[in-house]
Structure 1
């Protein structure tokens, strides 16, 4: 009887995270700051120093995610075959070298739009492998029973870095120029890769499921796992739609702030940082919301509730409408933050270990491919109609992105099934 309080306290005390997960978390923390600084600095550099047109800004945004369309699916097969820790480290150091070439070329007087195109495309290749490997090794590092908690921590940290990175990026660009901000991005990749070199994943990676039949068959197994699953298929359609519609807005915001509203990079960074705050709030509220109303309702109900607010972002202007648009942006990002945590946890829960790389690669192919398409559509609309048209189309379409989940078995799912 005397041990009861101790047992109760032990049950209430959170179990510490494994050391390798803490290292992965720290690397993501540093990497996130650099990534968001660079993501803001590159289009600002293109517009302010190289006089890029709206169409060229759209191409830059499209190329930054085009790698997921070009190699996204085969990357999953390679990640399932290779040591994931080595993939993560190689991706970080490669991206550091590519990003560092931008400020070096600027200082030498050689920087051009074509070089920016090439750098963002090749950096995107590294991001393909890094993202797929990171999400695929998470179940091994924390266990499947802690996936929602681990993803909530990772996503909330990512959202925090979005706030800090874009806010810092705006200030650095405003005060020290965009090339200096891009230097911070390169340094962050080096620091992240150094930390990841200390991660230990334990037992050797098991052979991938469905290895017979060669590369093509392994690839198609991962695709069929996503497209043939009644839970994963509507999730993929809904999330890809969210990415595409949000990208229509995000791609044109630098043009709106710098050219149309006459505001500086710092104001743009703060506005985008508001979106990071919304994503953070969404990531933090995802777990309690899912426990209260179920995982399925958490994926579609927030989208229905915030749908009317998307129009306020399309009406952004100086004065009060800037604040109204910022609130709308906050709420759209809040919805996205919830969906990221619940959706990624669902994907990992219903996928066997040997298919994780290919499943994540298939999702990345669809979701980031949607970003590429959204950026292209935004550039075309802005170039041949106007910037506001891109914002309006994005707002109207975003209001419908919850429907694929609502019209599927996910609608009332309380808790996702798990596999070994």
Structure 2
């Protein structure tokens, strides 16, 4: 649950942009270098302890912000430390959750359990929006205190969970344990396909976002509405995508098959991105909403089913390391994808007459990411 709720803290540093930039780079560096070692620690730890430690650390971060505010000792160094720690915890929390879930829910109910866990944080976040709006004047105190309270409550609930765990194998050294996870991921055809899909998707995500932003600007200009207002209006529909995706995954995974459903969802939904090319034509709002909502929904279905399939295939003793390895790879790919920002901005800065190249390349890139998955399915059917 904590994985999907960022710690929002009003640190008010002297230079917010610099602090956020340094914190973001620090998080990326830590995840790339230490993602696999942190996953190894998760595998070594007791399941209940691992689930409880992460929210307790988040609570400590919230309380440190509150204490700094009360004592008047805020500083850029403290802000960077809190942002870095929070970012790493937020990224590692799903690895802890995904490692523990098979032992709690059972491998036969993984899709349903993952679907539930994907929507509960969204419901909670939507419920917190009006509460935070009422506490806007007290944000400096209310937000850190609320974060710490929720995190401590989550830790207490996790301590009440009975997570069965196989006895840990004898330790053979950190290097050998990490190498075992790398070999397992590289040699297993399905896990290798999932890893390649995640890396390619992260690599082209920046470009896809720029294409969607360009289509949004064109649609807003065609409608004669400010971009900010138009974004708020049309993107309300995007809130339904995770719920629809979770429902489709639960309803279809037994009939279609978990892995095949992921491939089918991506192949069916990604071509709808081409509709963004019509954002400057009559009915621009409809084309933009469908061109963004359908791919997001398909990606949600694929994310749930691929995660469930990965959990089912990976031995319990390797789940943390495999999750940490995939997190490190996708973080690195996402950082490298940022290098595509400049050419992507040029291509995605569309006009009603030249808006086709961006959506076309975004669609081709998304479909290219599914090629490893399709090859794994084809190999399984032989």
* Shorter-chain TM-score tier: 0.7 to 0.9
2:368 corresponds to 1:400? yes
RMSD between superposed Cα atoms in Å: 4.8
Deviations 1:383-411 (A, max 9, x none): 8x587489766555224222221122367
- C-alpha contact (below 8 Å) 1:253/1:268 kept by paired residues: no
The answer to whether residue 113 in structure 2 is matched with residue 144 in structure 1 is no
1:69 aligns with 2:32: yes
What's the offset of the Cα at 1:347? Answer: 1.0
Corresponding position of 2:187:
228
Task: Provide the TM-score with structure 2 as the length reference.
Answer: 0.74
**What SS does structure 2 have at the residue aligned with 1:231?**
helix
Corresponding residue of 1:301: 264
Query: TM-score, normalised on structure 1?
Result: 0.68
**SS of corresponding position for 2:120:** helix
The 5-angstrom pairing of residues 171-250 of structure 1 reads 176=136, 180=139, 184=143, 187-188=146-147, 190-199=149-158, 200-202=160-162, 205-209=165-169, 211-212=171-172, 214-250=173-209
Summarize the alignment of residues 150-161 of structure 1 with structure 2, pairs less than 5 Å apart. 150-158=113-121, 160=123
In the TM superposition, what is the alpha-carbon distance from 1:77 to its structure 2 partner? 0.7
1:257–1:116 CA distance, 2 compared to 1 (3 A): farther
Distance, in Å, in 2 between the alignment partners of 1:326 and 1:239 is 25
Shift of 1:253: 7.9
Deviation at 1:289, TM superposition (A): 1.9
Q: CA deviation at 1:78?
A: 0.4
Q: Give 1:80 deviation, angstroms.
A: 1.1
Q: Is residue 279–residue 334 contact of structure 1 (8 Å, CA) maintained in 2? A: yes
Q: What is the match of residue 320 of structure 2?
A: 357
Pairing 1:409–2:349 present: no
Distance in 2 (CA, whole Å) between partners of 1:356 and 1:134 is: 10
Distance (whole Å) between structure 2 residues aligned to residue 188 and residue 318 of structure 1: 45
**Structure 1 residues 35-74: aligned runs within 5 Å:** 35=6, 38=8, 65-74=28-37
By how many angstroms is 1:326 displaced?
Answer: 2.9
SS in 2 for 1:211: coil
Instruction: Please tell me whether residue 377 in structure 1 is matched to residue 336 in structure 2.
Output: no
CA–CA distance in structure 2, aligned partners of residues 58 and 257 of structure 1: 26
Counterpart among 337, 345, 365 of residue 308 in structure 2:
345
- Cα distance in 1 for partners of 2:37, 2:237 equals 35
CA distance in 2, matches of 1:395, 1:109: 49
Question: In the aligned structure 2, how far is the partner of 1:311 from the partner of 1:139?
Answer: 38
Task: Report how far residue 194 of structure 1 moved.
Answer: 2.0
> Which residue is 2:89 aligned to?
126
